[in-house]
Amino acid sequence: MPKDFKASQIRTSKIIISGSESGKPALLVYSASSATDHAGSFQSDMLTNVGSDVYLFVSGNNGSILSGNRSNVTLFGGDVVVSGTFYAEKLVAEVDTSTASDHHISGA
C-alpha cells in the first residue's frame, strides 16, 4: 500500500490524478489532523455528505466565519471562475457600486 507523501514545500507544473475508489473522490485535500494514519486514511465521517459523483474534495469547516473563527476557512486568492453551474447551500454576497455586471439569483 502506498504511503503518504510528505514535504514542507514542493514545486511542480502538473499533478496527475489517476482513478478513485468507487463512489469516493479521486483527489482529497484535507488537514493532517484529519488523517488517521500515514497511508491516506481519514476520519470516517469526512465524506458523509459528499456525493458519489465528486471528483475533487477540499475539506473545511462550515460556519467558521459566522462564529468569528477565520482560522478554518478555505481561501482562493484572486479571481475564481466557474465554467458550468455554481451550486451553494448558502450564499452570502457583498456587491459594491463598482460592479459593472448584472447579478441574478433565481430560486426560492
What are the pLDDT digits (tens) for 65-85?
666 766 667 778 888 888 888
Q: Which domain holds residue 67?
A: 1-108
Give Cα separations from 56 to 19, 26, 44, 64, 69 (angstroms). Answer: 12, 6, 17, 21, 25
The C-alpha atoms of residue 43 and residue 57 are separated, in whole angstroms, by: 14
Structure confidence at residue 13 (pLDDT): 92
Task: Look at the chain and report how many structural domains it folds into.
Answer: 1
Give Cα separations from 48 to 51, 74, 95 (angstroms). Answer: 8, 19, 33
Residue at grid coordinates 514535504: 7
Q: Which of 43, 51, 38, 48 is nearest to 2 (CA)?
A: 38
Structure confidence at residue 84 (pLDDT): 82
**Its pTM surpasses 0.75:** no
**Which residues of the chain fall short of a pLDDT of 50?**
none
Q: How far is CA 85 from the centre of its chain?
A: 16
